[in-house]
Amino acid sequence: MKDFALLFGVLLKQTFRRDKSKPQAKAKWYVFLVAGLIAVCCLPLLGLIAYIIYQIGQMAAQLNATTSILTCILSAIQVVVLLFGIASVVNTVYYSRDNEMLLAYPLKPQVIFAAKLTYAYLIELMTAFLFTLFAVIPFAIGAGLNFSIGLVLSFFLLPILPLMVATIIAIPLIYVISYFKHNSIIATIALLIVTIILFVVYFFAVNSLGMMEDTADMQQMLQNMVATFDAIANVMIPNKFLALSMTETAFATAALNFVYAMLIDLALLAVAVFISSFVYRRSISKQLETPKSQSKKQTKYETGGKISMLIKKDFLEIIRFPTLAFYCLFEIILAPILIFVLGVTSMGSLDTTIEEVGMSFVEIMALVPDLVAIVLICFAIFMVFATNYMASTAFTRENKNFYMIKILPVSYADIIDAKAILSVIVNEIGVILMLVVSTFVLKVPLLSVAIAFVISSVINVVFSYMQVYIDLKKPRLNWENISTGLKNNPSSLISLLVSVILIGVLGGLYYLVSLAQIPVLVYIYFAVLLLLFVALAFVARKITIKDAQIYIDNIIC
Amino acid sequence: MLKLENLSKTYAKGGVKAVDGLNLEVKNGEIFGFLGPNGAGKSTTIKMITGVLQPDEGTIVLNGVDIKKDAYVFKHNFGYVPDNHATYEKLTGMEYINFMGSMYDVPKDVLKRRAEEFIEKFSLGHAINDQIKSYSHGMKQKIVVIGALLHNPKLWILDEPLTGLDPQSAFELKQLMREHADAGNIVFFSSHVIDVVEKVCDRIGIIKNGKLIAVGTVDELKQQSESLEEFFLNVTAE
């Protein structure tokens, strides 16, 4: 226990203690102003989300399905925690640089594993807290005291299931990556394919639980929805107990349900910990092995342009680092998969005539290609550009090699361009895949696809330079594992906020323009958007390159 | 010629000068050894010469090119081997060589000729298509050395270059340093190993608390004490 506490304490200090060797920058007034503006801009959106969830809560009460719907919300939060956290857990527990050092200490592998897992739990707790805050609290408005108590306690239980799943998944994952040690590109591809399969299986499993049938009868539709939620709740037993601990009015019953939930979660976690700690040492040793390869590759000398060689270097560095590649390339598959699953699960209903309007969904889309285009653009902004780690880690991922940027006889403009171009290429692949899937699976009109492609492509350039710029201002160069380098990365957080604001602005302006009901006005709006973002792209590049000299020179490495 | 004039650097933390008004001239064709106890300012000086750190005061001029005025040309003229051999470990040795050659605008035929010569000298041929992460400590040092020499720099800077090298490679590296200097270039290296410095260097500078406290040829410094080691211990004693 003493060893565990000592190690856990060190892990916390290593992550959260401020680096006192660096001067503490005084926050400037405009930083507060920008933060305030962002908060003000985000408030309506957050308010809208809260309102929707509040309405769901009211509807759930009317349908007598509060427990089932709450179970589903809790499960959804866990899926999000798992998606956000799996790479982090795997990195912290298995792929951390300190593993080699720790294994040499007189510590039991189980102690190291437990300390790292607890640390991972703490980090995931924060993610769970954030999502619970937005997803559950509005749901609970008007609920009793038991709900509030249960909610606070549930914060602590929510990350356990994702953590358990992550530790179990990690074991075969490590063996897969170790198996492909000689070819980490295959390991990266395998990792992405496994993720795609997990995603698709998850969505289809949820869908198959639904037993929903196409119907235009609202009452029947609600009944089907409730049946779906009940079916999911019956599978997610610990979450159902957790939900019951909040919805039960009698305190004793609520407390008992919480205890059930806790016992089941802890038992599942204990099994996972037992299995994982049993193979922990072997797993770590396996990934620390550095076998000699029998490479028969032909030695080939080649030279190239500086930007192209910098892009190649960055790409190879990413693609051969499976966990980093996972973060950086995930955006390519995320949006297309979501649209694919959405399309496939609603395949039958796309062409079905909706009685109220006398048209099918596909026919409606053909009537409003401009609306479809703006939805696709917003989707690309949020699901592709905002989740882009390629640009938001442009300098952070250099880690101890950052000095190379300073010593190489390459202009900072070339370095910035190389970083941004790589990001633009990856984003563009994501956008193209998303649009192709939309065209073939959702049967989106070609005009919408064309508009979305052109405007998204220009926004892509703006976002890439912006993310590179933010990362350049404050790169996190001292990381032990890539997750700690990426967690709370200012560039990705700010781009997420900017994307939300941009979606709000684009959507809001589109709404205002469409109010005039003059079709040509909407296309003028798109043309203005295009010109505006082209100008912004030039400005973003110019500012980033101009400031690069100051920022790069001032970074101590 | 490498000329450091009134070079100073203070880190924000503590306000102590890591390098304090350092003046130094190293002539072309010289191997210059930079000695000093831990924390004396050796690495800070080297980092300023390479542009990794910005000096608070002073100038750094190499063959008439001021790093502040024309960093691009200045960087083209030196090669750097850091003490931690940090490099792009996910690249193979071959990819790293091609990358460095492109960065320093080395023509393909020159790149091939020079790389093959160094690869053979350092016996790296068997591992050149492997990722650098699979290399041993010494092999990483070798590939970084090769990367730094591909463009035949006027100034070759090495921070603790012999650490981790096997005797054969250490010998080859010392020989390479001599050849590079004999070709009219400057070799500037820091080390803690006084025996090596004594054997390899034409001139030596000793730094303590950020100030250059002694400069001279090995013979000049040895005259002031029984041995170079004793001289070093005497002048650096608190």
Distance from CA of A489 to the nearest CA of B (A): 22
Q: What is the pLDDT of residues A532-555, one digit of tens each?
A: 999 999 999 999 999 998 888 888
Does B90 lie at the interface with A, CB-CB under 8 angstroms?
A: yes
Task: Name the residue among A318, A283, A332, A312 with its Cα closest to residue A185.
Answer: A318
Probe site for chain B from A301, A314, A400, A412 (most B CB atoms < 10 A)? A301
| Interchain proximity B86–A403, CB inside 8 Å | yes
Residue B223, token pair as written in the block: 């005259």
Q: What is the pLDDT of residues A15-30, one digit of tens each?
A: 776 665 555 555 666 6
Pairing relationship of beta strands B155-159 and B186-190 according to DSSP bridges? parallel
**pLDDT above 90: residue A287:** no
User: DSSP H helical segments within chain B, as ranges?
Assistant: 42-49, 71-76, 93-103, 108-121, 137-149, 167-182, 194-200, 218-223, 228-236
Distance from CA of A279 to the nearest CA of B (A): 24
Which residue of B lies nearest to A300 if distances are taken between CA atoms?
Answer: B94
Least-confidence region, from A151-155, A323-327, B10-14, B62-66: B10-14
Distance from CA of B86 to the nearest CA of A (A): 6
Instruction: Identify the band that residue A297 occupies on the pLDDT scale cut at 50, 70 and 90.
Output: low
Distance from CA of A550 to the nearest CA of B (A): 11
Does B147 lie at the interface with A, CB-CB under 8 angstroms?
A: no
Nearest to A303 among B11, B76, B108 (CB): B108
Which residue of A lies nearest to B43 if distances are taken between CA atoms?
Answer: A557
Q: Is residue B171 part of a domain?
A: no
The most confident of A47-56, A341-350, A492-501, B212-221, by mean pLDDT: B212-221
- The dihedral of CA B66, B69, B70, B75: what is its sign? positive
Tell me if ipTM is over 0.85. yes
**How far apart are the C-alpha atoms of B108 and A355, rounded to whole Å?**
70
Residue A166, token pair as written in the block: 């992550």
DSSP-based three-state secondary structure for A236: coil
Helices (H) and strands (E) in chain A, counts: 23, 2
**How far apart are the C-alpha atoms of A322 and A411, rounded to whole Å?**
30
Q: How far, CA to CA in Å, does B39 sit from each of B16, B35, B192?
A: 12, 11, 12
Q: How far, CA to CA in Å, does A192 sit from each of A177, A204, A206, A428, A549?
A: 12, 18, 21, 18, 36
Residues B16 and B57 both lie in one domain = yes
Residue A73, token pair as written in the block: 């919300």
Residue B176: its pLDDT value, please?
Answer: 92
Residue A24, token pair as written in the block: 């503490």
Residues B67 and B162 both lie in one domain = yes
Residue A286: its pLDDT value, please?
Answer: 65
Residues B95 and B107 both lie in one domain = yes
Tell which wins on pLDDT, A158 or A281: A158
Average pLDDT, chain A: 80
Q: What is the pLDDT of residues A237-256, one digit of tens each?
A: 888 888 888 887 788 888 88
**How far apart are the C-alpha atoms of A175 and A181, rounded to whole Å?**
10
Residue A455: its pLDDT value, please?
Answer: 96
Residues B15 and B71 both lie in one domain = yes
Nearest 5°: CA angle at B192, between B188 and B198? Answer: 65
Q: How far, CA to CA in Å, does B141 sit from each of A185, B53, B104, B126, B163?
A: 26, 22, 19, 16, 9
Q: What is the pLDDT of residues A342-399, one digit of tens each?
A: 777 776 677 777 777 788 888 888 989 999 999 999 999 988 898 888 888 899 988 8
Does B36 lie at the interface with A, CB-CB under 8 angstroms?
A: no
Cβ atoms A143, A54 nearer than 8 A? no
Residue B13: its pLDDT value, please?
Answer: 61
Do you know the residue count of chain A? Answer: 557
Residue A127: its pLDDT value, please?
Answer: 73
Question: Number of Cβ pairs closer than 8 Å across A and B?
Answer: 108
Longest dimension (CA), chain A: 76
Longest dimension (CA), chain B: 53
Residues B56 and B161 both lie in one domain = yes
- The dihedral of CA A294, A298, A299, A301: what is its sign? negative
Amino acid found at A219:
Q
Residues B16 and B44 both lie in one domain = yes
Residues B101 and B5 both lie in one domain = no
**How far apart are the C-alpha atoms of A129 and A195, rounded to whole Å?**
24
Residues B120 and B10 both lie in one domain = no
Q: Is A19 exposed, middle or buried (0-12, 13-18, 19+ CB in 10 A)?
A: exposed
Residue B66: its pLDDT value, please?
Answer: 93
Does A396 lie at the interface with B, CB-CB under 8 angstroms?
A: no
**How far apart are the C-alpha atoms of A489 and A387, rounded to whole Å?**
12
Residue A17: its pLDDT value, please?
Answer: 67
Residues B49 and B137 both lie in one domain = no
If one counts every other C-beta atom within 10 angstroms of the C-beta of residue A203, the result is 18
Strand partners, B80: B157
Arithmetic mean of pLDDT, A319-348: 79
**How far apart are the C-alpha atoms of A477 and B24, rounded to whole Å?**
32
Helices (H) and strands (E) in chain B, counts: 9, 10
Q: Is residue B99 part of a domain?
A: yes
CA quadruple A438, A442, A448, A453: dihedral, nearest 10: 0
Q: How far, CA to CA in Å, does A61 sit from each of A65, A141, A252?
A: 6, 12, 22
Percentage of the residues of chain A whose pLDDT score is greater than 90: 23
Least-confidence region, from A449-453, A474-478, B177-181: A474-478
Q: A351-375: buried (b, 16+ CB within 10 Å) or exposed (e) per residue?
A: eeeeeeeeebbeeebbeebbbbbbb
Give the contacts of A516 (CB within 8 A, at least 6 positions apart): none
**pLDDT above 60: residue A291:** no
**How far apart are the C-alpha atoms of A12 and B167, rounded to whole Å?**
42
Arithmetic mean of pLDDT, A289-295: 57
**pLDDT above 60: residue A262:** yes
Residues B221 and B146 both lie in one domain = no
Distance from CA of B193 to the nearest CA of A (A): 25
Residue A28: its pLDDT value, please?
Answer: 64
A411: enclosing H helix or E strand: none
Does B183 lie at the interface with A, CB-CB under 8 angstroms?
A: no
Task: Name the residue among A314, A297, A339 with its Cα closest to residue A418.
Answer: A314
Residue A293: its pLDDT value, please?
Answer: 57
Q: Which residues of A touch B88 (CB under 8 A)?
A: 313, 317, 401, 404
| Interchain proximity B50–A407, CB inside 8 Å | yes
A285: enclosing H helix or E strand: helix A251-288
DSSP-based three-state secondary structure for B235: helix
* Rg (chain B; Cα; Å): 18
Residue A155: its pLDDT value, please?
Answer: 80
Residue A118: its pLDDT value, please?
Answer: 85
Does B112 lie at the interface with A, CB-CB under 8 angstroms?
A: yes
Arithmetic mean of pLDDT, A401-417: 93
- Write out chain B's pLDDT in tens, 238 residues: 999 999 999 886 667 788 999 999 999 999 999 999 888 889 899 999 998 888 999 999 999 999 989 989 999 999 999 988 888 988 999 999 999 999 999 999 999 999 999 999 888 999 999 889 888 888 999 999 999 999 999 999 999 888 778 888 888 899 999 999 999 999 999 988 888 888 899 999 999 989 999 999 988 888 888 888 888 888 888 6
Q: Which residues of A touch B130 (CB under 8 A)?
A: 292-293, 295
- Following DSSP, what letter does each residue of A473-493 receive, concatenated? HS-----SSHHHHHTT-HHHH
Least-confidence region, from A20-29, A38-47, A294-303, B157-166: A20-29
Q: Is residue B4 part of a domain?
A: yes
| Interchain proximity A313–B11, CB inside 8 Å | no
Q: Is residue B105 part of a domain?
A: yes
- Domain with B92 in it: 81-152
Residue B74, token pair as written in the block: 């200045």
Residue B100: its pLDDT value, please?
Answer: 94
Residue A299: its pLDDT value, please?
Answer: 77
Residue A205: its pLDDT value, please?
Answer: 65
Residues B121 and B54 both lie in one domain = no
Arithmetic mean of pLDDT, A3-15: 81
- The dihedral of CA B223, B234, B191, A554: what is its sign? negative
A68: which DSSP letter? H
Task: Name the residue among A199, A491, A488, A525 with its Cα closest to residue A374.
Answer: A525
Pairing relationship of beta strands B211-217 and B203-208 according to DSSP bridges? antiparallel
- Following DSSP, what letter does each residue of B106-151 receive, concatenated? --HHHHHHHHHHHHHHTT-GGGTTSBGGGS-HHHHHHHHHHHHHTT
Do you know the residue count of chain B? Answer: 238
Least-confidence region, from A45-59, A107-121, A148-162: A45-59
Rounded to 5 degrees, what are φ and ψ at B10? Answer: -120, 130
Residues B15 and B73 both lie in one domain = yes
**CATH assignment at residue B10:** 3.40.50.300
Does A19 lie at the interface with B, CB-CB under 8 angstroms?
A: no
Tell which wins on pLDDT, A277 or A24: A277
| Interchain proximity B75–A557, CB inside 8 Å | no
**How far apart are the C-alpha atoms of A529 and A537, rounded to whole Å?**
12
- The dihedral of CA A228, A232, A234, A238: what is its sign? negative
Q: Is residue B205 part of a domain?
A: yes
Q: Which residues of B touch A290 (CB under 8 A)?
A: 133-134
Residue A193: its pLDDT value, please?
Answer: 76
Task: Name the residue among B75, B54, B50 with its Cα closest to residue B65.
Answer: B75
Arithmetic mean of pLDDT, A192-220: 63
Q: Is residue B172 part of a domain?
A: no
Q: Is residue B42 part of a domain?
A: yes
**How far apart are the C-alpha atoms of B184 and A353, rounded to whole Å?**
85
Domain count for chain B, please give it.
2
Residue B104: its pLDDT value, please?
Answer: 93
Residue A8, token pair as written in the block: 């856990």
Q: Is residue B175 part of a domain?
A: no
Residue A96: its pLDDT value, please?
Answer: 74
Pairing relationship of beta strands B2-10 and B57-62 according to DSSP bridges? antiparallel
* Rg (chain A; Cα; Å): 25
Helix A251-288 and helix A145-157, axial crossing angle in degrees, nearest 10: 10
Residue A496: its pLDDT value, please?
Answer: 81
How far out from the chain centre does Cα B230 lie? 24
Q: Indicate the pTM of the whole model.
A: 0.77
